[in-house]
Amino acid sequence: MAKHSKNVSNNFYYMKNGQANDNLLKEKKKKAKEREKRIKERKKEAEVNIDKDLETVINMTNKNRLKKEEQKRKEENRKIQKKKKKYKKIKFFLKLFVLIGLIAGATVFALTSPIFNIKDIKVLNNTLVSSETIVSLSELKQGQNIFKFYGTQVSEKIKQNPYIEEVKIHRKLPATIEIDVTERQPKFSIDFMGKFAYIDDQGYILEISEDSKGLPIIRGVGTPEEEINAGGRLNNDDLEKLEDVLEIYFAFEANGLASKITSIDITSKNEYSIYLEEELKTIHLGDNSNLNSKVTYILAILEHEKGKAGDIYVNGDFNNKFQPYFREKVTI
């Protein structure tokens, strides 16, 4: 009985130990499988990393290669552009030398060929100064080369004549010169030492003459006598009064009276007076204000007092109900 108990105990021990061994074996196998799985995963991960590193290396290699190729291409382009610029520069200078040569040749030909010797000198738009006088002032000669003078210098010489305001010189190739002039027109005359100085509407003194030429005579100028000479100009005070005179003249002209003006006295800017010899009347105008009203009254008085010598007064203050009037000259 004791022996049987011992056998049972041994069998239980072996069963227990065998089961434990099986469990241990299974655990070892499980761990072995997990280890193998980890090794495979690490191997796979390593392979992936190797592929990535290889791809990175390849990309970097390709990038460096492309960069070098780009640099090489840029360098080649720079060399090509440099050659092109050099070629263009050489081409430009060749053209420039050819052009300079052509210009030099043409200039020599123009200055020496008898084809360009002046044959005809024409003066245009002159009525007061003769063509002969203008050509003489220009100092241009027939047979002279058409290019061997400066137009501005010729113009200044011609403008020495007080009547000449502007000059334009035209070369009509091969051998004709046209001198186109603008003349100053005498508008008034100045009573000057028993003579008359013609002036234009800008106050330029054109000529000293014995005759007034029928121009309205301006009396009472303040320009010194030594300054009144052909080619001169009235002083600033007289030029300011001349502006008033022109305004008065145009107002008279618009009403048909300008042709009747014999003289205008400008001694005082506030007391202009106008003499109409044909009407035997002196008009006391005052300043140049209210010209339209004044001329209207003048016309009415001239019509009403026709044939009577005397003075017309329109020099009052029209804003204070001044009434123009006529005072007949008393003869003894």
Report the distance separating Cα 189 and Cα 211, nearest Å. 9
Question: Does residue 332 have a pLDDT over 50?
Answer: yes
Residue 19 has phi, psi (to 5 degrees) of -65, -40
182: closest CA among 126, 224, 128, 138? 126
**What secondary structure, in 3-state letters, does 228-241 show?**
CCCCCECCHHHHHH
Confidence of residue 14 (pLDDT cuts 50, 70, 90): very low
Average pLDDT over residues 26-34: 77
- If one compares 90 and 7, the residue with the highest pLDDT of the two is 90
Q: Within this chain, do residues 324 and 195 fall inside the same structural domain, yes or no?
A: yes
Q: Within this chain, do residues 67 and 127 fall inside the same structural domain, yes or no?
A: no
Q: Within this chain, do residues 175 and 192 fall inside the same structural domain, yes or no?
A: no
Q: Within this chain, do residues 242 and 163 fall inside the same structural domain, yes or no?
A: no
Question: Does residue 7 have a pLDDT over 90?
Answer: no
Q: Within this chain, do residues 9 and 107 fall inside the same structural domain, yes or no?
A: yes
Of 51-60, 83-92, 298-307, least confident by mean pLDDT is 51-60
Percent of the chain's residues with pLDDT above 90: 62
28: closest CA among 13, 17, 36? 36
Of 21-25, 51-55, 223-227, least confident by mean pLDDT is 51-55
Q: Within this chain, do residues 248 and 320 fall inside the same structural domain, yes or no?
A: yes
Instruction: For the full predicted model, state whether its pTM sits above 0.85.
Output: no
Going edge to edge, which strands form the sheet with 263-265?
205-209, 195-199, 188-192, 217-219, 263-265, 272-276, 281-286, 310-313, 325-328
Domain count, the chain: 3
274, with CB counted inside 10 A (0-12, 13-18, 19+), is: buried
Average pLDDT over residues 108-120: 83
* DSSP one-letter string for 208-259: EESS-TTPPEEE---S-GGG-STT-B--HHHHHHHHHHHHHHHHHHHTT-GG
Q: Which of 183, 215, 238 is the last residue of a domain?
A: 183
Q: Within this chain, do residues 77 and 119 fall inside the same structural domain, yes or no?
A: no
Q: Within this chain, do residues 38 and 127 fall inside the same structural domain, yes or no?
A: no
Q: Give the domain extent around 242.
A: 188-328
Q: Which residues contact 324 (CB under 8 A, 6 or more apart)?
A: 294, 297, 298, 301, 312, 313, 314, 316
Q: Within this chain, do residues 165 and 288 fall inside the same structural domain, yes or no?
A: no
Model confidence pLDDT, tens digit, residues 267-300: 999 999 999 999 999 999 999 999 999 999 999 9
Q: Within this chain, do residues 220 and 128 fall inside the same structural domain, yes or no?
A: no
- If one compares 34 and 305, the residue with the highest pLDDT of the two is 305
Q: Within this chain, do residues 244 and 278 fall inside the same structural domain, yes or no?
A: yes
Q: Within this chain, do residues 58 and 20 fall inside the same structural domain, yes or no?
A: yes
221, with CB counted inside 10 A (0-12, 13-18, 19+), is: buried
The overall average pLDDT reported for the chain is: 87
Question: Does residue 19 have a pLDDT over 80?
Answer: no
Report the distance separating Cα 38 and Cα 36, nearest Å. 5
Question: Does residue 150 have a pLDDT over 80?
Answer: yes
Report pLDDT for 149: 93
Q: Which of 90, 112, 134 is the last residue of a domain?
A: 112
Q: Which residue has the tokens 């010194």?
A: 224
Query: Could you say which DSSP state residue 148 is in?
Result: S
Question: Does residue 63 have a pLDDT over 90?
Answer: no
Of 49-53, 205-209, 213-217, least confident by mean pLDDT is 49-53
Our measurement of the distance from residue 246's CA atom to the centroid of its chain's CA atoms, rounded to an integer in Å, reads 33
Model confidence pLDDT, tens digit, residues 219-253: 999 999 999 999 999 999 999 999 999 999 999 99
152: closest CA among 167, 140, 130? 167
